[in-house]
Amino acid sequence: MQRRDLLKLLAVAAPLGGGTGRLMAAPAADGARLLVVFLRGAYDCANLLVPISGAASDFYRSARPGIAVPMPGEANGALPLDGDWGLHPALAGSLLPLFQKKQAAFIPFAGTNDLTRSHFETQDSIELGQALDGGRDYRSGFLNRLAGVLGGGPLTAVAPIAFTDQLPLVMRGEAKAANMALGNVGRQGIDARQSQVIAAMYRDTALAQPVAEGFAVRDEVLRSVKAEMDAASRNAMTAKGFELVARRMARLMKDRFDLGFVDVGGWDTHVGQGAGTGYLATRFEELGRGVAGFAEEMGEAAWRDTVVVVISEFGRTFRENGNKGTDHGHGTVYWVLGGGLAQAGGRVVGEQVALTQPGALFQNRDHPVLNEYRAVFGGLFARMYGLSPAQLDHVFGGVAPKDLALV
């Protein structure tokens, strides 16, 4: 019996979701913004958040003779976050300052119970956010369902966008959602009159909505990028790579969009991933610069109402493989950032276990999952938006939200 039924009952009893959560930012959730960053390829969380004390540290080092991040104080060593955990040194200039300002938190042992260890399968299942034991509905991603719920209540309007050249599964569904990749924004070739004629051709087709939305977003992005060009011509620094995209995302989310998604690839490190420096370190550095740039570009006021969650489909093997890399694993570490994190800011939160010997590993191989992603996101959404149980149940059917007091 059924958690789902119980939630439905509760929903009837308390339609406004009384005790479920609180609004993140007074006076209303209207200013709240959420960005989900998906690291595709299953990044090696064991080198992001490094055990630095006692038996856990010893076990980590012995499992990774070629790729362990050095201890704090050693060259390219981990940056201590608390007594147990150290941060990868490539994030010294970007993520660490946010953590110290209590604007970043980490959730280790996070992930999905999907055990296929397939990138594609697991990315899909996470983006869909549906129960694993039922059939899949590929037309319903969890951010899209969230948009549907928000549009009907706590927000007066919701404007979701994926900053990707294809609309990802997580954003597909009934609610309208835009997409546009920001790395390479060109000049406009189709003028206003042509846009109208083309939109009219599609008016009675299944593609009417994306066509119309595409023209609207294009106009918005071009305006924003033009402002960036003007600034750059006055000798402002121009960012590159993911940081450029992240700063553009921040300007668009500050002004027009409140629910965002972006993905970053290149995390599938089967070979030669490096330790304190090397391939993975470079990826961390670039990502860190991006999220720090996003926070800065947002500006203090908007950043206070913003939450960024960085996720990945799963973690990697705890032990290094034969090629100084890592293979597909299970649990991972999620990052939560925002200007208005509550007690979680500057902490490593969620249920944890010390990995001190092989028996502590999941299937003698991986990080176990102790903080299931749907429960974690459910708890976050409840707090951010004050969602009712019924609304939460619409987003993540049958899941009890886990309140980590993130905001």
Partner 1 sequence: MSFLRSPAVQNAAPTWRLLVASVVALLAACSSVPTPTLAVAPADAAAQRQWLDRVSWGANADDARQVASVGVPRWLGAQLHPRPAPLPAAAQAQIDAMRISRTPLEQLARELEDQRKAADALADDDAKKAARQAYQQALNQLAREAQQRFLLRALYSPNQLQAQMTWFWMNHFNVSTRKANLRALVGDYEETAIRPHALGRFRDLLGATLRHPAMLRYLDNAQNAANRLNENYARELMELHTLGVGGGYSQDDVQALARVLTGVGVSLREDGAPPPRLRPELQAAYVRDGLFEFNPARHDMGPKTLLGAPITQRGLAEVDEALDRLARAPATAHFIANKLAVYFVADVPPPALVERMSATFQRSDGDIAAVLTTMFESPEFTASLGRKFRDPVHYVVGSVRLAYGGRVVASMDPMIGWINRMGETLYAHETPDGYPLTQDAWASAGQMTTRFEIARALGANGAVLFRGDNQAPLEKPPFPPLAESAPVRDGLPALSSATRQALAQAATPQDWNTFYLASPEHNHR
Residues that bind partner 1 (CB under 8 A): 40-41, 116-121, 138-139, 162, 164-167, 172, 177-181, 184, 186, 188-190, 194-195, 197-198, 200-205, 207, 209-211, 213-215, 217-218, 265-266, 268, 270-271, 321-323, 325, 327-328, 363
Task: Give 337's strand partners.
Answer: 104, 308
For partner 1, which is the closer residue by CB, 123 or 388? 123
- What is the nearest approach in angstroms of partner 1 to the Cβ of residue 171? 9
Closest Cα partner for 407 from 322, 336, 350? 336
Q: At what angle do helices 142-151 and 373-385 cross, to 10 degrees?
A: 20
Closest Cα partner for 332 from 35, 31, 107? 107
On the 0-12 / 13-18 / 19+ scale of CB atoms within 10 A, 174 is: exposed
For partner 1, which is the closer residue by CB, 124 or 305? 124
For partner 1, which is the closer residue by CB, 58 or 165? 165
For partner 1, which is the closer residue by CB, 31 or 210? 210
For partner 1, which is the closer residue by CB, 305 or 327? 327
For partner 1, which is the closer residue by CB, 216 or 231? 216
Number of other residues whose CB lies within 10 A of the CB of residue 165: 11
For partner 1, which is the closer residue by CB, 94 or 179? 179
- What is the nearest approach in angstroms of partner 1 to the Cβ of residue 231? 24
Compute the distance between CA of residue 368 and CA of residue 302 in angstroms, rounded to an integer.
35
- What is the nearest approach in angstroms of partner 1 to the Cβ of residue 197? 5
- What is the nearest approach in angstroms of partner 1 to the Cβ of residue 176? 9
- What is the nearest approach in angstroms of partner 1 to the Cβ of residue 270? 5
- What is the nearest approach in angstroms of partner 1 to the Cβ of residue 201? 5
The owner of tokens 């749907």 is 374
Is the distance from CB of 386 to CB of 23 less than 8 angstroms?
Answer: yes
Q: Please provide the DSSP assignment of 188-213 as one string.
A: --S-HHHHHHHHHHHTTSTTHHHHHH
Helix (H) or strand (E) holding 285: helix 279-298
In the sheet that 79-80 helps form, which strands lie side by side, from edge to edge? 49-51, 85-87, 79-80
Cβ neighbours of residue 334 closer than 8 Å, sequence gap 6 or more? 106, 107, 110, 309, 310, 311, 371, 373, 376
For partner 1, which is the closer residue by CB, 41 or 148? 41
- What is the nearest approach in angstroms of partner 1 to the Cβ of residue 255? 18
On the 0-12 / 13-18 / 19+ scale of CB atoms within 10 A, 153 is: middle
CA 173 from centre of chain: 19
- What is the nearest approach in angstroms of partner 1 to the Cβ of residue 164? 8
